[in-house]
Structure 1
Amino acid sequence: MRETDFIGGFAKGLRVIEAFGEVRPRLTITDVSAQTGLDRAAARRCLLTLAELGYAAYDGKFFELTPKILRLGHAYLSATPLPRLVQPYLDQLCERIGQSASASVLDGAEIVYVARAAQKRIMSINLTAGSRLPAYCASMGRVLLAALPEAEARAIIEASDRKANTPFTRTEPDALVDELSRVRRQGYALIDQELEIGLRSIAVPLVNARGRVVAALNIGAPAAHAAADDMVECYLPAMREVQASLRQVLA
């Protein structure tokens, strides 16, 4: 891209939007400046512009995003056929095995949920379409990282904020790269309480008709319901069936 094609003001606005999150729902100008690296004047202009356009609310001190911001994410979900194609398969899989089923795509160092079917809540956070999780410690993240060239996957891992969510979380880049190699060989990833205590999950890549990995599918289950070794025997065959069926319909 040519330098003249880059709109700096637009980029700053996006950085400001991304400063908000689950743990930062309300921010001051100073907060946004610190989060984005923008000076206070630029952060203020971006925030006031968002408020003027209805994407943020301002009470004189704090800014918070409004529901209108959902239009931006909905544009992606509406434009891509992936959620519409996979949702019926997730619903059937969830009903068949009695556990939550999800699909996600890779976005930098995170996975983004594009579809989900859940009979019950199994995590402390409520996962829906648009939810994000770090790729390095999520089963879907690992199969999506494993689909990348090793050097690219390592670069993403090394750039990630790798925190130990539990005593079982793997954070060392070399150990994670070795795990990705195993995921490539076996064709699935198994996470045993690395993301959250009491949660196990298993994931497979979703491959399109041209053989390209376009998403990941996972099953999440409470640790009390299934031992780690049982996850493969209990859930992988049904997931393989969904994987094969979706290969015929994914572009």
Structure 2
Amino acid sequence: MASTAFEDSADYVQSLARGLQVLRAFDRELPSASLSEVAERTDLSRAVVRRSLLTLQHLGYVGSRGRSFFLTPRVLELGYSYLTSLDLTELAQQSMELLSQRVGESCSMAVLDGSDIVYVLRVPVRRVMSLALGVGARLPAFAASLGRVMLADLPEAELAVWLRAQKFRAYTPQTIRSASALKVELRRVREQGYALVSRELEPGLCSIAVPIHAGDGRVVAALNVGMPYSEEAPARAVQQILPALREAQRAIEQAIRRGGWLPHLAMKHAYE
């Protein structure tokens, strides 16, 4: 794969890659960790992890308490730099607030990052998922409505590479858990122009999403509405919420065209 070839080149900075790997070891499940725990999670040696943690601590991105390390608020600067370069969130804010008020449900915008979606804007009404979702939160793209509308736009060759890199996990009994089944679903999503996901990430969640196109036609993000699951939720999502979702989609895309906005950063795919 191209990424493996680059790692063998003179341009690849291994220490930087390892430092970022150490940063990503911390999450909601592991907010504070010992050197050994970080080494185990990253599959790096204790010596490498120690140097990385001490360097990150010196730079202010990591703090320590006893033998435990934790991220400091300074790491938010990294994500904030991305969000401020992504003017799309400013263009979408008002439309998403109107959408949320109209349907009485939470709505979110996300971009595709490798195997995951990353939330870049969210207008919550009430908590639907047990997971705490906010800007920067990540979810597996294959099982999320936001992810599926973006994956459906990938060229066949890119999608094939993406699928080979996935490790499918059954989050619930309803979760699509194979590449072949996902390809069938993505074909349906592409044809109908929206993705409906019911009880695949959590038993109590139903969500519906549409793609957001830049002025050049590329899908650069996705917009969704999430709601508690009930027997009536899927029908309500398609019949009542989808028309409002599409209105917000059109408003955001019109704002993009009027502003001449194009992504400042290419969509990053970890599988490339």
TM-score by length of 2: 0.88
Give 1:206-221 correspondences, 5 Å limit: 206-221=212-227
Equivalent in the alignment of 2:199: 193
What letter matches 2:29 in structure 1?
V
Q: Paired residue for 1:228, among 234, 238, 257? A: 234
In the aligned structure 1, how far is the partner of 2:157 from the partner of 2:9?
28
Identity of aligned residues (%): 46
For 1:12 and 1:53, the matched residues in 2 are separated by: 15
Q: Does 1:170 find its partner at 2:150?
A: no
Give 1:225 deviation, angstroms: 8.2
| Aligned residue number for residue 71 of structure 1 | 77
Correspondence list, 1:1-251, <5 A:
3-224=9-230, 226-250=232-256, 251=261
Distance in 2, matches of 1:247 and 1:69, equals: 31
Sort the Cα spacing of 1:179 and 1:37 in 2 relative to 1 into closer, same or farther, 3 A: same
- Give 5+ residue unaligned stretches, structure 2: 1-5, 262-272
Taking only aligned residues, the RMSD between alpha carbons, in angstroms, comes to: 1.6
* Contact 1:100–1:118 under 8 Å retained in 2: yes
Q: Secondary structure at the match of 1:220?
A: strand
Aligned residues: 251
Once the two structures are overlaid, the 10-residue window that deviates more, 20-29 or 94-103, is: 20-29
Structure 1: gaps spanning 5 or more residues: none
Larger relative contact order, structure 1 or 2 (CA cutoff 8 Å, min sep 6): 2
Q: Deviations over 1:66-96 (max 9, x none)?
A: 1111111111111110111111111010001
Give the 4+ runs in structure 1 shifted more than 2 A: 1-6, 150-161, 224-227
Specify whether residues 10 and 244 from structure 1 end up closer, same or farther in structure 2 by C-alpha distance, changes over 3 A only. Answer: same
